[in-house]
Amino acid sequence: MLALRAVTSTGGMIAHSDAFDHGFLAKCATRIIDECRGINRVI
């Protein structure tokens, strides 16, 4: 299993959660599953 988390940071010391665009996330998830042996889910 693999988890992706988007964060934004302006000062390097504090990071805030951000959201992925659904199209981008779908493309990344498909590519990770197709190309990384042992990965069968992206959440």
- The structure tokens listed for 29 are 């998830």
Q: How confident is the model at residue 41 (pLDDT cuts 50, 70, 90)?
A: confident
CB 17, CB 4: distance < 8 Å: no
Whole-model pTM over 0.85 = no
What is the extent of the structural domain holding 35? 1-43
The pLDDT assigned to 37 comes to 92
Q: Answer whether residue 20 shows pLDDT above 90.
A: no
Nearest to 20 by CA among 10, 9, 8: 8
Task: Give the total number of structural domains in the chain.
Answer: 1
The CA angle 41-43-30, to the nearest 5 degrees, is 55
Selected residue with higher pLDDT from 11 and 18: 18
